[in-house]
């Protein structure tokens, strides 16, 4: 399926660059809406029978999660490396605790950049403050109290 900026979608008149198949993510991307072009391609795909596997009952597999929040497993610089590659580090002069802004002084892309992703839950972003986009699960108790969870 082509991205919404592809020539195949020009005839469909994609008016908003913020749908599921947008070529890039930004703060306004709506990952729950299909453009007219993407609706056409996904409908054709499903109507030809290629989506029949979606009717199969999924296998039940346990997916054990680590007991720590991801921000405790991966510090902010490691998060930058996972997104932008080796040598990437957090930008020191960008607003902390919100979107993850990273730079890579050794790479082709110098300067700070973002994919508008939040810091991983549990990342210490200010002394004594951790980022959280999660609803607090029950049973955390005092273990996470120092992070405000």
Going residue by residue through the chain (149 aa), what tens digit of pLDDT does each one get?
A: 888 888 888 766 656 667 888 777 666 666 678 888 889 999 999 999 999 999 999 888 888 888 899 999 999 999 999 988 888 999 887 777 778 899 877 655 567 888 888 899 999 877 666 666 554 444 555 555 555 54
DSSP string covering 31-47:
TT---HHHHHHHHHHHH
Q: Quick check: is 44 in a domain?
A: yes
Does the model's pTM come out above 0.95? no
Q: Are residues 96 and 47 in the same domain?
A: no
DSSP lists the bridge partners of residue 90 as 102
Q: Quick check: is 109 in a domain?
A: yes
Q: Are 57 and 98 in contact (CB under 8 A)?
A: no
Q: How far is CA 99 from CA 6, 36, 80, in A?
A: 28, 30, 11
Domain count, the chain: 2
Query: Residue 128: what pLDDT?
Result: 64
Query: Residue 66: what pLDDT?
Result: 86
Cα–Cα distance for residue pair 149/135, rounded to 1 Å:
9
Q: Are residues 104 and 75 in the same domain?
A: yes
Query: Residue 135: what pLDDT?
Result: 46
**Helices then strands, each counted (H, E), the chain:** 4, 5
Query: Residue 132: what pLDDT?
Result: 66
Q: Quick check: is 148 in a domain?
A: no
CATH of residue 103's domain is: 3.40.1620.60
Q: Quick check: is 120 in a domain?
A: yes
Per 3-state DSSP, the chain is made up of helix, strand and coil in percentages (nearest 5) of 25, 10, 60
Query: Residue 73: what pLDDT?
Result: 93
Instruction: Please give the distance of CA 82 from its chain centroid, rounded to a whole number.
Output: 12
Cα–Cα distance for residue pair 64/132, rounded to 1 Å:
21
**80-113: string of b/e by CB count within 10 Å (b at 16+)?**
bbeebeeebebbeeeebeeebbbbbeeeeeeeeb
In which element (H, E) is residue 8 found? helix 7-10
Where in the sequence is the domain holding 50, given as residue range(s)? Answer: 1-57
């Amino acid at each position: 399926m082509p991205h919404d900026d592809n020539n195949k979608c020009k005839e469909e008149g994609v008016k908003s660059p913020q749908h599921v198949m947008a070529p890039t993510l930004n703060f306004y991307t709506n990952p729950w809406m299909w453009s007219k072009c993407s609706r056409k391609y996904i409908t054709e795909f499903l109507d030809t029978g290629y989506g029949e596997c979606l009717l199969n009952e999924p296998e039940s597999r346990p997916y054990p999660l680590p007991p720590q929040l991801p921000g405790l497993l991966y510090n902010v610089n490691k998060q930058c490396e996972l997104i932008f590659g080796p040598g990437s580090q957090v930008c020191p002069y960008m607003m902390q605790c919100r979107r993850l802004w990273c730079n890579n002084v050794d790479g082709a892309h110098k300067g700070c950049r973002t994919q508008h992703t939040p810091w991983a839950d549990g990342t210490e972003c200010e002394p004594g403050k951790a980022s959280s986009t999660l609803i607090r699960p029950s049973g955390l108790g005092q273990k996470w109290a120092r992070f405000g969870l």
